[in-house]
Amino acid sequence: MGGLDDDIIVEEESEKRSRAASPCGHPEDLYGTQSSHRLLAYSDALISIIATVMILPVAHTKVTNEEELTQSVQLLLTTKIAVYLVTFLIVTVAWAAHIRLFQVIVRIDDCLALLNLACMMLITFLPYTFSLMATFPANVLGILLFCGCVMVIGVIQSVIVLYAFSRPFLLNHQIQISENPTLYRSHILKVIMRVPLICLMAGVCSFILFQLSYVLLAVVIFLPYISQSIAWCRSKAFGQTEESPDSMVFYSLLPSEPLSKERVEAFSDGVYAIVATLLILDICEDNVPDPAVVQEQFGGSLIEALKVYGPEYLAYFGSFATVGLLWFVHHSLFLHITKATRLMGLLNTLSLAFVGGLPLAYQLTHEFPRNSRNELEAIQISCVIIFFAGIFQLTIWVAALHSERETLHPRVRYSGCEHVFMLAKLSLYPCVTLGTFFLTCVLSRFSASIFHLMEITVPVAFLVLRLLVRFALALLRLLFRPNPPDPGRVVEEDATVPFNPLATE
Amino acid sequence: MGGLDDDIIVEEESEKRSRAASPCGHPEDLYGTQSSHRLLAYSDALISIIATVMILPVAHTKVTNEEELTQSVQLLLTTKIAVYLVTFLIVTVAWAAHIRLFQVIVRIDDCLALLNLACMMLITFLPYTFSLMATFPANVLGILLFCGCVMVIGVIQSVIVLYAFSRPFLLNHQIQISENPTLYRSHILKVIMRVPLICLMAGVCSFILFQLSYVLLAVVIFLPYISQSIAWCRSKAFGQTEESPDSMVFYSLLPSEPLSKERVEAFSDGVYAIVATLLILDICEDNVPDPAVVQEQFGGSLIEALKVYGPEYLAYFGSFATVGLLWFVHHSLFLHITKATRLMGLLNTLSLAFVGGLPLAYQLTHEFPRNSRNELEAIQISCVIIFFAGIFQLTIWVAALHSERETLHPRVRYSGCEHVFMLAKLSLYPCVTLGTFFLTCVLSRFSASIFHLMEITVPVAFLVLRLLVRFALALLRLLFRPNPPDPGRVVEEDATVPFNPLATE
């Protein structure tokens, strides 16, 4: 029998391996279906880039070199930043809806892939409608275009749902084995059509009172966030309430893991990657001097000409180091997390929105001449952006600790070297930027070059940190456990003691 | 015993699931190591975006509206296109080296993650050094900067290798169990340091004869491609030769699968995603009219003002549809492929290089006024770009068919409905663009709008194609097998018969 057992396991193994090597190795292949994995990865990449690139119009706003930022430039910047933030939020709302839809539909075929691409095309067009709204707030055209796009997206998604329910082998196993799939279908359609219906109302309202349409659109954008926050606060205040079948059990089907951790990671990777590369794009477009200028102004010496750009290179390497390390912290954080709740998803979105603002920080810190008043302001703005990016990462961790049994790996639950080290990693950026911010307030003069040098040296701090934490824990162990524990002594068994001899060994 | 079998399998199952949910669920966690999966995905995203964004300086070259493209603009464009192509190739060479390195190192820790980020920072800086070289070809500074970057990357990669070999649990299982890991280490170091050494020579040469340095750099960029092509031709001409231990068995460790299929897919997804989003970025930056202009020139009518941009919207949707469908074809292709050989990797890179040129096609087709001579040329350039992107995808398929036992899923090997349909999908874009190209030559006048409308309608062609192929196969079956096969009849058992009743059923 032993041989047979092995055979079964080996067969299971090899089947799994072949399935991993080619997603087609499935009995349902005969119907021409495919695993949806790569389609979702591509959608994540598209949506994350679309969410982030709208920072470019902000960063490319030409700021003149006057002593104070003029009123009009400030207004322009504020408008563009608002467009960026609203775009980021609406795109992430669309992305969350996309995740939920493809938690119901787990396999795809060619037709669904094409429908999904059509959906993506319209999502990528949303930022443009926002730009129109921001530039012409009193004109109804922007509102109508936006509402039109959202309604068409809703129709396409409904077609996707109807198509998928007509071929049940594409669906989630839970729905496949359910007795009444029609109930699921009508419920999902109802949830999907909610937003397009609000947009239809907003479109109609725009002819009567366009201010009312904006209120309706704000409801569309912020409703998921507000309702999530309220639900979270309520559950914390009154204890765990019964999940309403409306939002959770029926639609997302996985109440304990509403957002797929893999897709959150893929989306975050996309944002960090595009931010890091937008920086070098600016360098390549702006910082290659004109041969004629080099000949005239620098007597043909390229090195002299490039020296002018010195601060920009420093700014580039500093900003890249910051983005890379924020990614690194995010990566470490999600290694310890086993599930992403909705609240954590929301906090992650906010953190990413600030990460997306880093190109603006880069642009501001190298644009102003040394020792000007604006340089100080630019450094302060950069500190604020990095601070919020870091502090929201920290709150993801706090939120995960709140429900640690569901969301955290056992190794990091309130004890052990890893827990302390994770906390140290997460608080490094908020602490450093807070310190720098207060320093700029006190000193009233601060060089951008020093700021960027600081940014570059932070990675070293990570390694030093690791050593320090280990050293401190070893010291603590030495202090509290000088001798092998004797049975008569009362050993403190507090779960919050920040070390665990087994884990630090 | 049956119950016990189930238990074993279930345990195996759940262990796998927990490992999938959190990459930490591994005995080596005590050493603080992590699965390298997400680090590699992030690196792929970064490298693919860096490879592609260099098309932006090309696409943003302002072309004046004269009857013929002037000589100087043509020269500028050619230079920039050369920079784009060379950047794309050198970045993919760096990427291939990165793949091979992380086929040896399969797990990472914090230190390796930080070293890898430092490596990425320098790779993202390479395009800038190329821009400098292209603008100042006779100046040694660009060459020196490039060589310096490559040498530092080499040093970092050597440190990564030394570090990983000092902690053997980070390494590939094959090396871990080998008797002599030091042999592997010195061999890998030798391979890694080859390129930095050539660059060192190029740097030294640049002081004596800078033309020679360019020759050396060209060797660095094209050597992998040339040697691969020669090896492939030789193996086809003289039969399968013994793999030299130098390049294959020792270093890449997986001779039959030199490029990880997953990473090729991730890299390709990155390129397609960034190309699709660069288009909307241009729309958002350029096509929001100024309120003052709308007031003056169009009497405050936003619709009138936006009508001017009509062709650009059409160009956007057309280009997005093309990118999306090329991705779709690529996706279908890689569903059927189980392994990516080096040649297939090379062909994929070339296909992606042309896909990256699509923003240029978009820019050209909407920039010229109707019925000008340049409009025709712009359409022809677009056709050429799309044609080559498609034809290289087709050659990936041909290359896969050449070694179909290793690289293809059994379902698509020279028979079956899927095989025919795949071929039809792959040849659609080359055929359509070739037809359009000849049409433009004959007609001598062709509207860009019609071209973009064609682009948008191609997705429909995909669905029609599917129906047509099915219909044709059903017809063939009806013609050749009108009766159930009788045993006396000689049944043609040719493997190339393009249908397979089991698969089409």
What residues contact residue B164 under an 8 Å CB cut-off, 6+ apart? B104, B105, B112, B170, B171
Dihedral class, residue A408 (left if φ above 0, else alpha if ψ from -120 to 50, else beta): beta
* Residue A266 near chain B (CB below 8 Å): yes
The answer to whether the CB atoms of A462 and B110 lie below 8 A apart is yes
Q: B265–A111: do the CB atoms touch at under 8 Å? A: no
- Residue B482: the pLDDT is 57
Chain segment A254-310, per-residue pLDDT in tens: 444 467 788 889 999 999 999 988 888 878 777 777 778 888 887 777 888 888 888
DSSP-assigned letters across all residues of B25-44: -SGGGGGT-EESHHHHHHHH
Q: How far is CA B48 from the centre of its chain?
A: 8
- pLDDT at position B89 is 85
Position B25 pLDDT exceeds 70 = no
> For the whole model, what pTM was predicted?
0.81
CB contact, 8 Å: B321 with chain A? yes
Q: Are B458 and B321 in contact (CB under 8 A)?
A: yes
Amino acid at A90: I
Q: Which residues pair with A108 in a beta bridge?
A: A34
Residue found by looking up tokens 């959906």 in the block: A119
The arithmetic mean of pLDDT across residues B445-454, rounded, is 76
B250 has pLDDT over 80? no
In this prediction, residues B87-114 reach a mean pLDDT of 85
Closest CB from B60, B277, B306 relative to A50 = B277
**Which of A450-464, B150-164, B348-362, B383-397 shows the lowest mean pLDDT across its residues?**
A450-464
Sequential DSSP letters for B244-307: PIIIIIIIIS-TT--B-HHHHHHHHHHHHHHHHHHHHHHHHHHSS--HHHHHHHSTT-HHHHHH
Q: How confident is the model at residue B139 (pLDDT cuts 50, 70, 90)?
A: confident
Q: Are B284 and A57 within 8 A, CB to CB?
A: yes
Q: At B335, is the secondary structure helix, strand, or coil?
A: helix
CB contact (8 A) between residue A49 and residue B21: no
Q: Which of B4, B36, B42 to mutate to test the interface with A (most CBs of A within 10 A)?
A: B42
B120 touches chain A (CB under 8 A): yes
Query: What are the C-alpha distances in Å from B405 to residues A339, B18, B231, B338, B347?
Result: 40, 34, 19, 10, 19
Within A209-250, residue ranges assigned H as helices are: 210-238
Quickly state the pLDDT bin for B16 (edges 50, 70, 90): very low
- Contact call for B57 and A328, based on CB within 8 A: no
User: What is the radius of gyration, based on Cα positions, of chain B?
Assistant: 27
- Choosing among B38, B294, B462, which should be mutated to test the A contact, i.e. which has the most A CBs within 10 A? B38
Instruction: List the single residue in A with minimal CA-CA distance to B30.
Output: A503
Structure confidence at residue B8 as a pLDDT band (50, 70, 90): very low
Stretches in chain A below the pLDDT threshold 50: 1-30, 67, 241-257, 485-505
- pLDDT confidence of residue B141: 85
Query: From CA A136, how far away is CA B293, in angstroms rounded?
Result: 12
Q: Which residues of B touch A316 (CB under 8 A)?
A: 125
The 10s digit of each residue's pLDDT in B337-351 is 887 877 888 889 999
Q: Which of B117, B123, B278, B408 to mutate to test the interface with A (most CBs of A within 10 A)?
A: B117
Q: What is the pLDDT of residue A372?
A: 65
The confidence score (pLDDT) of residue A62 equals 67
**B128 or B233: which leads in pLDDT:** B128
With CB atoms and an 8 Å threshold, state whether B334 touches A287: no
Average per-residue pLDDT for chain B: 76
Bigger pLDDT: B407 or A474?
A474
A303 interaction partners in chain B (CB closer than 8 Å):
141
pLDDT at B64: 58
> Could you report the predicted ipTM of this complex, rounded to two decimals?
0.79
List of chain A residues whose C-beta atoms are within 8 Å of the C-beta of residue B4: 5
C-alpha distance from A125 to closest chain B C-alpha (Å): 7
DSSP symbol at A252: I
A270/B336 Cβ within 8 A: no
pLDDT average, residue stretch B272-278: 89
Q: Which of residues 434-453 of A touch B (CB under 8 A)?
A: none
pLDDT score for A445: 67
Q: Do A136 and B302 touch (CB under 8 A)?
A: yes
- With a cut of 60, say whether residue B18 has pLDDT above it: no
